[in-house]
Amino acid sequence: MSVNWQDSPPLGNKKSHRTGINRRAEVSIARNHRNLRLSRHGQTTMMKKTPILAAVALAAFAGMAHAGTTTFQAINTPDGQVLAGQNGQTLYTYDKDANHQSVCYGSCAKEWLPYLANSSAQPFAHYSFVVRKDGQRQWALNGEPLYFRSADKKTGDITGQNADHGNWQVARPAA
The whole-model pTM stands at: 0.61
- Work out whether strand 147-149 and strand 168-170 pair parallel, antiparallel, or are unpaired: unpaired
Contact yes or no for 147/115 (Cβ under 8 A)? yes
Tens-place pLDDT, residues 58-102: 443 333 333 444 689 999 998 899 999 999 999 999 999 998 999
24, 115, 168 from 112: Cα distances, Å: 70, 9, 10
Tens-place pLDDT, residues 92-103: 999 999 989 999
Bridge partners (DSSP) of residue 76 are 81
Decide if pLDDT at 4 tops 70: no
Contact yes or no for 62/48 (Cβ under 8 A)? no
Please list, in sequence order, all residues whose beta carbon lies within 8 angstroms of the beta carbon of residue 96, skipping any fewer than 6 positions away: 103, 104, 167
